[in-house]
Amino acid sequence: MTANEPSTRRAASGEGDAVVMRGVSKWYGDFRVLTDIDLNVRRGERVVICGPSGSGKSTLIRCINRLEEHQQGEIIVDGVELTRDLRSIDRVRREVGMVFQQFNLFPHLTVLENCVLAPMRVRGASRRAAEEQAQALLARVRIPEQAGKYPGQLSGGQQQRVAIARALCMNPRIMLFDEPTSALDPEMVKEVLDVMVELAGDGMTMLCVTHEMGFARRIADRVIFMDGGQIIEQAEPETFFTAPKHARTRAFLSQVLGDQ
């Protein structure tokens, strides 16, 4: 965090926090998807969000980069409050990377072009600088040799690693992951998780929706359990997995851990 950031609205409290959500609610029509969400994520913190299908996990993290609009409460990301103001949205999206379940690579662009697009257009980087950085990040996700290929020519695991590299190319301060391994064949899950573990080790602020409980146990600073649009329980992974307080958490855990 550089000290000479242009004057932005800072939250009164939680100055140093990467993400602050206070009393956030969201409706789809009459259906309340999120109810009074309070959540602070410190810089460098790794948060794993889990919960049954339809509990609002995706909606929650998509509110953080304004892919979804919240109707109540406030969300402050990297010191910028998300409002209708397009400039606040642009600023936040620049600093927040996102990885989707379905990869969402741009199929008409090569891997390298996928990676340099946003740095060049949004950050105004030169092609050379952007390509150098992209190559370095592709090497970091262990697919430097695929730079010239099109996404359709890669395996699912490779595509997801490209998607991670593409997000990292913007030098985000916060990374959001929405079930990054759910669309992958089992043998490819590990290669993606390995990359994410490495990223966590580098001190990236991460919010990750996942059902990979082994991964959560390994890298999370905090595990959040959601159900019915609410945060039911949150704790350090040790406590969360060994001594869950709520009955619903226990039911959920027995289900997902039983599957493994």
Ligand X SMILES: Nc1ncnc2c1ncn2[C@@H]1O[C@H](COP(=O)(O)OP(=O)(O)OP(=O)(O)O)[C@@H](O)[C@H]1O
**Nearest-approach distance from CB 101 to other proteins, in angstroms:** 9
Q: Which does 153 bind (CB under 5 to 8 A by kind): Mg ion, ligand X, other proteins, none?
A: other proteins
Regarding 153 and contact with other proteins (CB under 8 A), the answer is yes
Residue 53: other Cβ atoms inside 10 A: 7
The answer to whether the beta carbons of residues 18 and 45 sit under 8 Å apart is: yes
- Alpha-carbon distance 46 to 41, whole Å? 8
Q: Which does 97 bind (CB under 5 to 8 A by kind): ligand X, Mg ion, other proteins, none?
A: other proteins
Chain-centroid distance, C-alpha 171: 14
Of positions 108, 127, 245, 246, contacts other proteins by CB under 8 A: 108
- Alpha-carbon distance 81 to 89, whole Å? 9
Interface contacts to ligand X, rule CB under 6 A? 28, 31, 33, 51, 53-59
**Nearest-approach distance from CB 216 to Mg ion, in angstroms:** 16
Of positions 55, 58, 133, 210, contacts Mg ion by CB under 5 A: 58
Regarding 129 and contact with other proteins (CB under 8 A), the answer is no
Of positions 5, 71, 83, 121, contacts other proteins by CB under 8 A: 121
Q: Which does 241 bind (CB under 5 to 8 A by kind): ligand X, Mg ion, other proteins, none?
A: none
- In the chain, how long is the greatest CA-to-CA distance? 55
- Alpha-carbon distance 132 to 126, whole Å? 10
Give the E-state strand segments of the chain in sequence order: 17-28, 31-42, 46-50, 72-77, 80-81, 96-99, 174-178, 205-209, 222-227, 230-235
Tokens matching residue 10: 């800072």
Q: Which is nearer to ligand X, 28 or 106 (CB)?
A: 28
**Nearest-approach distance from CB 197 to other proteins, in angstroms:** 22
Span from 87-95, 137-145, 190-198, 234-242 in contact with other proteins (CB under 8 A): 87-95
